[in-house]
């Protein structure tokens, strides 16, 4: 079935370090791909998305490129801040779910940024 796998956390970085959170997926068809962020005590917020191969999604200094050949959608940021500390979720739209908009999420990766 369709699935998303993220790197295990927590990821601990110093402020201004470079961030990569790996995400790979398994899907039949051509899903859209998403990154969501969850700050402590809050719901998930859409961070960025890409709807077709080679698309790059970007927002707030984060970016991710839809790589069909490696079935990946890794999240990157050049210089993290303490305020980026959160849980990051990779997700795909389920191509087999018809027009329901169903999303399948990875297990989440916790990012801790230290000053």
Partner 1 sequence: DTAVSQTPKYLVTQMGNDKSIKCEQNLGHDTMYWYKQDSKKFLKIMFSYNNKELIINETVPNRFSPKSPDKAHLNLHINSLELGDSAVYFCASGQGTDNYGYTFGSGTRLTVV
C-alpha–C-alpha distance, residues 84 and 75, integer Å: 13
One character per residue 53-72, x = contact with partner 1 (rule: CB under 8 A): --------------------
- Tell me whether residue 100 is exposed, middle or buried, using C-beta atoms within 10 angstroms of its C-beta: 0 to 12, 13 to 18, 19 or more: exposed
Q: In the set 23, 27, 44, 75, which binds partner 1 (CB under 8 A)?
A: 44
Chain contacts with partner 1 (rule: CB under 8 A)? 31-32, 34, 36, 38, 41-46, 49, 51, 87, 89, 93, 95, 97-105, 107-108, 110
């Amino acid at each position: 079935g369709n699935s998303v796998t993220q790197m295990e956390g927590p990821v601990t970085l110093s402020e201004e370090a470079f961030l990569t959170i790996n995400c790979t997926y398994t899907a039949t068809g051509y899903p859209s791909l998403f990154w969501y962020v969850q700050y402590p005590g809050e719901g998930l917020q859409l961070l960025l998305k890409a709807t077709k191969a080679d698309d790059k999604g970007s927002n707030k200094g984060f970016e991710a490129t839809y790589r069909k050949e490696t079935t990946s959608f890794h999240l990157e940021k050049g210089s993290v801040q303490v305020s980026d500390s959160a849980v990051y979720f990779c997700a795909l739209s389920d191509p087999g779910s018809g027009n329901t908009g169903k999303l399948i999420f990875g297990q989440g990766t916790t990012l801790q940024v230290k000053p």
